[in-house]
Structure 1
Amino acid sequence: MILPDVLICELIEQKALCINPLNESQIQPSSVDLCLGYDFLIMDNLNMPLVDPKSKNSITYREAHVQEGSKLILQPGVFLLGTTIEKIMLPNFLVARVEGRSSLGRMGILIHATAGYVDPGFCGQITLEISNVSNIPVALYPKMRICQLSFELLYENCKVPYGVKGKYQGQEGPKGTKIYMDFPEE
């Protein structure tokens, strides 16, 4: 069951679901809009002959920070990691799904490549996998509404919440991949 605005507001009021900062206007009929942060990680693909998921140092990123009142110009074909301004904390009985906003999709901006699922017990900012699939540059502004979260109830509390084993628990700012942690040391 996807939660409607009434239940989202109740969970926020009860402090079972935390989204901070949150303006009431961000709450939609069955989701909550989240805003783009100021910090980005851009793959340094000039020095990468290959990305190897087993290697911790396979990918290097350049950090970028956009000043208040400025914009980021996302060139066609570019992929980068961004973050939400909001920090969220999910209870052990709730799952969230990150979706791009239709208005941005209509400009060719994708907000997540595959990571649209947020596990119960997650706490932190959401890292966004942003790409421009159009053939013209698009301006992105910190604080603009960039994505939306919808929420689904679990049948019961999960046995092991994300915070127990999660690689990205407590993240602040965009974080690069930690897939290398999935491979046992050889």
Structure 2
Amino acid sequence: MTGALPSQEIAALTEAGAVRAATPLAEGQIQPASLDLRLGRRVWRLRASFLAGAGHRVAERLDDLAMHEIDLTSGAVLEKGCVYLAEIAEALALPDDVAAVTNAKSSTGRLDLLTRVVTDHGTEFDRVAPGYAGPLYAEICPRSFSVLVRPGQRLNQIRFRRGDAVLSDAELAALHAREGLVAGGPAVIDGGLGFSVDLAPRDGGLVGWRAKPHTGLIDLDRIGHYAPADFWEPLTARDGRLILDPGAFYILVSREAVHIPPDYAAEMAPYLAMVGEFRVHYAGFFDPGFGHAAAGGAGARGVLEVRCHEAPFVLEHGQTVGRLVYERMAARPDQLYGAGLASNYQGQGLKLSKHFRA
């Protein structure tokens, strides 16, 4: 059937050899509507970001653009402000009717790690053509913090699709009427479901966090380890306004609670330039069951990873900052986000990545 492939079909793809790896998939790697991708052993420091381009393989471009190769076996530091390309442990041999799209995982985006998947012959980041057969690579650019990485760590995720099952605005409005896709704000439907930023002061006035410019190293294997104050500056907005500084990175939260029903998945669409001088997100997949009451997620809000661009920009409470594009699942997943899974962000509000102490 047309739609995003659920966990059981991803498992079937793997068993059929459409997803290949030298080592078996790890526990929890298959999510309700996506597959976590693992880092391989090799990473290259690059002179510049690149796409392979039609008719070219990534390995050919590395001959010109790679500065040196790094072995991750014992761990390696990826320096803030540098560009790297890492091999991904999984390779693909997709059926002709299956395409894929990739995105950063939530914890990756909340660390301001710009990471995008690159394929042979690719002309776009994070897009895998139907029937693609070949390796996958992750471009990694730490923007705020240097990070320690090792093989097997999961920075990206991939969603497989058969056909186009994106909901029209009329279908989205009907789904909202049945299921209640947002709470805490109106359902603004225009090319997807719009959402806004929450800058209303509460809990001592805290409305978000801004990354500090000079910090220590973050080991991606250390969960709940780091003190937020060592890496983040708490932000208040007593008048419901926040001025974004060019080049700064912020963690904010949506005003609306988001709901992804079990038979649907969603993706946070790229920001529109006319909204303001900022990028709204790095990690954009929402799995079936996110914010679903029966899966323990009633009241789950979307965390916003925001980077300001060329000019200072005033962000105000309730200002629209992005939209969610919903699509049908090809079938209901065997297990929903948050329902018995190790789902770090179900039922969330304003929250830093899992590496920081609560």
Q: Deviations over 1:56-113 (max 9, x none)?
A: 8995312323242x22211111111111011221110001111111111111112118
Tell me how far apart the structure 2 counterparts of residues 81 and 12 of structure 1 sit (CA, whole Å).
24
- Matches of residues 120-159 of structure 1 in structure 2 within 5 Å? 120-134=130-144, 136-154=145-163
CA contact (8 A) 1:39 1:63 kept: no
Aligned to 2:37: 34
Q: CA deviation at 1:119?
A: 0.8
CA contact (8 A) 1:43 1:59 kept: no
Tell me how far apart the structure 1 counterparts of residues 72 and 44 of structure 2 sit (CA, whole Å).
15
Confirm or deny that 1:80 pairs with 2:89: no
1:110 to 97, 108, 114: 114
AA aligned opposite 1:124 = G
Confirm or deny that 1:25 pairs with 2:28: yes
Q: CA deviation at 1:9?
A: 2.2
AA aligned opposite 2:125 = A
Q: CA deviation at 1:151?
A: 0.5
Report the count of equivalent residues: 143
CA contact (8 A) 2:37 2:155 kept: yes
Tell me how far apart the structure 2 counterparts of residues 93 and 109 of structure 1 sit (CA, whole Å).
32
Confirm or deny that 1:65 pairs with 2:70: yes
Task: Give the RMSD, CA atoms, in angstroms.
Answer: 2.6
Distance 1:16 1:154, change over 3 A: farther
AA aligned opposite 1:17 = A
Of structures 1 and 2, the one with the larger relative CO (CA 8 A, separation 6+) is 1
Percent identity, aligned pairs only, is: 29
3-state SS of the aligned residue for 2:33?
coil
Confirm or deny that 1:4 pairs with 2:9: no
Aligned to 2:96: 92
Distance 1:147 1:58, change over 3 A: closer
Q: CA deviation at 1:34?
A: 1.1
Which structure has the bigger radius of gyration?
Answer: 2
Tell me how far apart the structure 2 counterparts of residues 57 and 8 of structure 1 sit (CA, whole Å).
31
TM-score, scaled relative to structure 2: 0.37
Distance 1:137 1:91, change over 3 A: same
Distance 1:16 1:39, change over 3 A: closer
Give 5+ residue unaligned stretches, structure 1: 46-52, 156-186
Moved segments of 4+, more than 4 Å: 56-59
Q: Which moved more, 1:143-152 or 1:18-27?
A: 18-27
Tell me how far apart the structure 1 counterparts of residues 72 and 101 of structure 2 sit (CA, whole Å).
29
3-state SS of the aligned residue for 1:77?
coil
Give 5+ residue unaligned stretches, structure 2: 54-60, 118-123, 165-358
Distance 1:57 1:104, change over 3 A: closer
Tell me how far apart the structure 2 counterparts of residues 18 and 12 of structure 1 sit (CA, whole Å).
5
